[in-house]
Structure 1
Amino acid sequence: MKQFKVMKLIAGMFCSCFCLVVMVSLTQPSRTTTGVEPAVLFFKTQSDSFAIAALQLQTALAAIDKDKPATLANSREALKRCRVHYKKIEFFLAYFFKSSSLIYNAPPKVEIEEPYMEYQEPIGLQVMEGLLFEKEVVAKKEVLLQQADAIASSAKDLHALLHGFQADDKQLLESIRLELIRVITLGITGFDAPLLKSGLAEASASLEAVQYVIQPYLSRGAPQADSVTKYLGGCRQFLQEYQDFDSFDRMTFLTQHMLPLQQYVGLLIKELNLQYNTTGGTINYEAGNIFSPDALNLLAFPRAGTQADSALLALGKQLFFEPGLSGNNKVSCATCHNPALHFTDTLTTSLAFDGQAHVRRNAVSLLYAGFQYEQFWDGRAKSIEEQVRTVINDPKEMNGGESTILSLLQHKPTYTRLFKEAFGQQLDTMTLINQVALPIAAYVRSLNPRNSRFDRYMQGDHTTLTAPEVNGFNLFMGKAQCGTCHFAPLFNGLVPPLYNLTELEVLGTTKTDNLDQPEMDADYGRYDIFQIDFYERAFKTPTVRNASATAPYMHNGSFKTLEAVVEFYNKGGAIGLGLDVHNQTLSALPLNLSKEEVNDIVQFLRTLEDSVATYIPEKK
């Protein structure tokens, strides 16, 4: 019955893929197809190899025997080979046939992603990896074989996707651009296969595909062709020479090879006049690379609209510090989000309206808040505007509202003029609460300094980080698996390569940071909003930028130090500590980080601290 469900899902996905092909082909009024035919031929050849690898995986799994440990090792190696073959066609499948790609490489557990929450039965190679590393693998053999059968049977029909297929050079080159981002942010972090630790081999396979597909464009005499060839070759050579996943020097790989490659591929596409952007503008292809400060377009995020003008920002900043928005004329946004404290309040949980009690959760920093698809720890607000309205109206927080705003306007008539300057004639159609929420939200969206030592290093000043800090970055993006939830470049839950989703995770955060006697925290997170099983204890993944200045940590403020936070992950979250969290999305396996490695990760996190001097109001 389970297998039937899986195959039924696959059939539906193939149908949606054909619809996508038709849609894509109809939206292109003019096209050049220099590289399309070679790319299709490459896809056919490599999909045949993937299908063979899938059959070999099926055979290896069928041979698993509890009395023959070598059969388990063989199965893991067969899975690794199958994954590497998949990576050679990923750029094509994920771009032109996105639904089909989910059959092979969907997350191993139900993902909690906003703003588009869709339930999908976990299926594919990532699911199989998890099963192959469980204690009682033999007990999971039937499920493994069902998964393998689903993959093998669909892989042999991949050619069918090409029936009536049409594409052009612009689309093909964008698929390559997105694959480069996958390698940078997911491949070398081990996102797809954290237990197999096959990320480097998979990244190499992805770049092999890039090298083949981009070749026709390099022979057209483009000025950037030599640079693309140089850095692409350098990337592949570096991956082949340094194959140990845990000790891989990601910083050198990125700064000396991969990021220059991304930059020159972008310049090549621009000079060939083959730019194309299907990301809804989220990715700015004019940026040098994904770590450039302008790589992600803030205006593509919820309700951001157009660039806020100076009058709106000035009004928003003034309102942010305005206690007259609260019912007692004492509390402002800055009370819990103090710029001098990197827009937090250093409290375990913030003080409530009465100044005595506390609200339920920790005040997370507002820096980079605009780069999210939901707000609050449980994601209940879908925009910053909604968050502002909620906080102002909440009796436990600011206890304000329309009457309070009206009173403010009466006592401070200069606001009437400022609102008029900011909104013009539109002001007459707006509610009072929106007149306040819109400028405050615009101000919060402007809080994106990107001036940390890490940022300066990534922009070329290699004097700003020490060797332990660089090692901490390498660990963060590799062995410690931090980068598989706190995604580059903002190190929050914004999911690459499209950055069109924000992840919530179930960590099983404990009541205190006493990991020797762990107790479960009573907060059920997003489950209190939607009572769905996989929402239990789910919380937003915040950025770790400025974490060194925003203690205490977690939704409940239960962890006092960064060392304690890293050690919690090192032990495998709640399950690793022996607690029962049935839907934990964090791997329960220990990371086996040494004390020195934990220290280096913490040192790296300190490099993400921005200067916020420009946000601190002058003393009057």
Structure 2
Amino acid sequence: MNNILFLIRAKAYTFSICLLLLTGTACKKEVANTKPVSISEQIENLYTTELSHCINALDSLALLKNTHDNIENYKKARLHFKSIEPILSFIDKDNYKSLNAPNILQIHEEDPTDIKIRNPFGFQVIEELLHEPQIDSLKIKETISITNSRLKLIKKNIHIDFKDHHIIWLLRNEIARIATTGITGYDSPVLSQSLQESQYAYTTLEKIITLSKDKFQSEALYQNILKAIAEAKQVLNHDFDSFDRYVFIKDHINTQLKLLVSMQKDWQVAFPFQLALSNNIISLFSAETLNADYFTDYKSDTTNLASKIAFGKTLFNDVNLSKNHDMACATCHIKEKAFTDGRRVFDDRQTRNSPTLTYATYQQAYFHDARTGSLEGQIVGVVNNHNEFNMTMDSIIVRVRKNPEYKRLLDSLYNNKRDDFNIRHSIASYVRTLSAFNSKFDRNINNQENTLTDNEIKGFNLFTGKAQCATCHFAPVFNGTIPPEYKETEMELIGVPQKNDTINATISEDLGRYYTYKTPERKHFFKTPTIRNIEKTGPYMHNGVYNTLEEIVDFYNRGGGAGIGINAELQTLPPDPLNLTQDEQNDLIAFMKTLTDNDLNETNN
């Protein structure tokens, strides 16, 4: 019996040893075949995890338990969405835009035969619906469902394969997004939790930098970047209205941009091309911040550019390009008036105010109604307009070639025979130089001087905060081209009145964008202009209805057209009064006046 037990135990022991040996062999084999997880895979795992949390939070929100739980579940979903924002916005811009769209009708006009009108969905829409006086449960659930379905579709199609320059671009875009839209309340219309949301976006940047640690040659640089982000997150732990955005951008955003340039040098990154934000920017507000070539289809035509610009300036000032030899571009765009004409409208020839040409290059649409997509195209519009040059481009070519010096310049500066394009290109090249970025505000935020008053700084903080101006006029140009991709120039319906009247106001008779494609939903829509040099560009609005900045601020403070009794159903400007005190209105105006270029003559190369 004892012998039998011994044999059984011996066999069991032998089996256990064999099992351990087999297991050990298998483990060794598995270890041998395991590849290191790449940075792209780690970023993808981070992205997938946060995306899953976002989806789960929206699933909980869809239950619509009670007001408190609904808001808390929304906040969780939103903060997880903000955590994926740096990655999603970089790898899938269109879906990010849809999920983060404002609660206004989406109108896409490709051409007269391709007009799409869609109801918005996404987080901003859900946020506003949750705060309606009367909750529409069916509409909320439908919006949540559409939003979550899009997120789940995104999750099924994730594939991230980043090169070093992709990581740098992603980091720069998000830093710029935080500064230009994140801290302004642009996408937190009711809760105003933009500062907290920006902290979550920063946390993702921290994680990406940490995952990329082995790429750094300099340990000190690695630590400095993490320290800069940690300090920014700490500063963002603040209430919305009193947050000092001026100091935040000056001391934190610009510092991060400088460190990013050091980081790309440390990594020895070679960029294949430039996006809208230049690859070497060290400040959000400078002539080097934006890549001007990004905003034109004619990027390659840079040979002899300085001479082409000079030629364009001459043509810009030549009245012989108009039918009656009495109008030049400079007739309506006078440099001393920041390239406007100081009139409500130009004599009886026009029905719209002459917009400034300063900073005109940094947009994706031209004319008040955005009917043209380039400066070169805008010139054709002026030439063909019966109330302006009243010519054809063929006639312009004849007149230019009759001038011996012009003929010589055309033939020597351009290697092709496309006179039509070459004339337009030279004028447009000159207009692209009218962007100095040397205003009092620019010089101060870039530490070149310390002359801003407390009231002017308060005005900037109001502009980018409580007054909500920066939710339509985006830094650094303060126009309607949306950062950080700068692919789209927004149009708005703000309810501009026909006359300066707050008692019996009626909306301007000009239907704006409607005339381009006859889309009913586009009636009274106009492009958002720059407010740089605004002190010199009055009268204001497309019809010149307001003569002073005080009148402009009063209009917005009342809630736009809705605040003076105009019922425009699709008004994109929030209709609620801003409730700015008189001192706050004065500070706002004081800031806007700091955006006047130091010497407008210097903008003319």
Distance 2:484 2:466 in 1: 21
1:9 aligns with none
Greater Rg over alpha carbons, structure:
2
Partner of 2:125: 127
Q: Is the 8 A contact 1:174 1:276 kept in 2?
A: no
Say whether residues 1:289 and 2:293 are aligned partners.
Answer: no
Alpha-carbon distance in structure 2 between the residues aligned to 1:422 and 1:246: 54
Deviation for aligned residue 1:275: 5.0
What's 1:573 paired with? 560
Question: More deviation in 445-454 or 397-406?
Answer: 397-406
Shifted more, 96-105 versus 573-582: the winner is: 96-105
Distance in 1 (CA, whole Å) between partners of 2:427 and 2:409 is: 13
1:46-61, aligned counterparts within 5 Å?
Answer: 46-59=50-63
Aligned with residue 110 of structure 1, among 99, 105, 114: 105
Alpha-carbon distance between aligned partners in 1 of 2:367 and 2:312, rounded to the nearest angstrom: 20
Q: Secondary structure at the match of 2:502?
A: coil
* Contact 1:570 1:590 survives alignment (8 Å): yes
The percent identity for this pair of structures is: 33
Assess, with a 3 A threshold, how the Cα gap between structure 1 residues 95 and 598 changes in structure 2: closer, same or farther: same
Task: Report matched runs for 1:60-459 at 5 Å.
Answer: 62-63=64-65, 71=67, 74-102=69-97, 104-111=99-106, 119-134=117-132, 136-138=133-135, 140-152=136-148, 155=151, 159-162=155-158, 165-218=160-213, 220-222=216-218, 223-240=220-237, 242=238, 244-274=239-269, 276=271, 281-305=275-299, 306-307=301-302, 309-351=305-347, 357-401=348-392, 402-403=394-395, 406-407=398-399, 409-410=401-402, 412-423=403-414, 425-426=415-416, 429-431=417-419, 433-459=420-446
**1:148 alignment partner AA:** I
Task: Show the counterpart of 2:580.
Answer: 593
Shift of 1:207: 0.6
Q: 1:229 to 1:57 in 2, by over 3 A?
A: same
SS at match of 1:293: coil
Q: Which moved more, 1:152-161 or 1:339-348?
A: 152-161
**In 2, Cα distance between equivalents of 1:450 and 1:154:** 40
Aligned residues: 561
Quote the residue 1:24 is aligned against: none
**Where does the alignment leave 5 or more consecutive residues of structure 1 unmatched?**
1-31, 65-70, 352-356
C-alpha distance in structure 1 between counterparts of 2:231 and 2:330, whole Å: 48
Corresponding residue number in structure 1 for 2:15: none
* Paired residue secondary structure (1:188): helix
TM-score (norm 2): 0.87
Q: RMSD value over aligned CA atoms?
A: 2.5
State how far apart, in whole Å, the 1-side matches of 2:105 and 2:170 are.
26
Distance 2:413 2:236 in 1: 53
Alpha-carbon distance in structure 1 between the residues aligned to 2:294 and 2:464:
26
* Counterpart code for 1:188: I
What TM-score comes out, normalization by structure 1 length?
0.85
Q: Which residue of 2 aligns with 1:21?
A: none
CA distance 1:47–1:382, change in 2 (3 Å) = closer
Task: Single out whichever of 46-55 and 331-340 deviates more from structure 2.
Answer: 46-55
Residue deviations 1:254-293 (CA, integer Å, cap 9, x gap) = 1111221132123213321345567x63221111133232
Q: Deviations over 1:489-522 (max 9, x none)?
A: 1111111111121111111111123233322101
Shift of 1:99: 4.3
Q: Which residue of 2 aligns with 1:38?
A: 42
CA distance in 1, matches of 2:306, 2:161: 46
What is aligned with 2:14? none
State the distance in 1 between where 2:128 and 2:551 align: 27
Q: Which runs of 5+ in 2 are unaligned?
A: 1-35
Q: Structure 1 residues 142, 599: closer, same or farther in 2, change over 3 A?
A: same
What is the deviation of 1:574?
A: 1.6
The letter for the 2-side match of 1:149 is S
Matched residue of 2:157: which SS? helix
Q: Would the aligned equivalents of 1:115 and 1:374 in 2 still touch at CA under 8 Å?
A: no
Q: Deviations over 1:297-323 (max 9, x none)?
A: 111212342336222112111111111
Letter in 1 for 2:390: N
Q: In the alignment, which residue of structure 1 is the partner of 2:482?
A: 495
| Distance (whole Å) between structure 2 residues aligned to residue 366 and residue 217 of structure 1 | 43
Give the stretch that moved more between structures: 170-179 or 572-581: 170-179
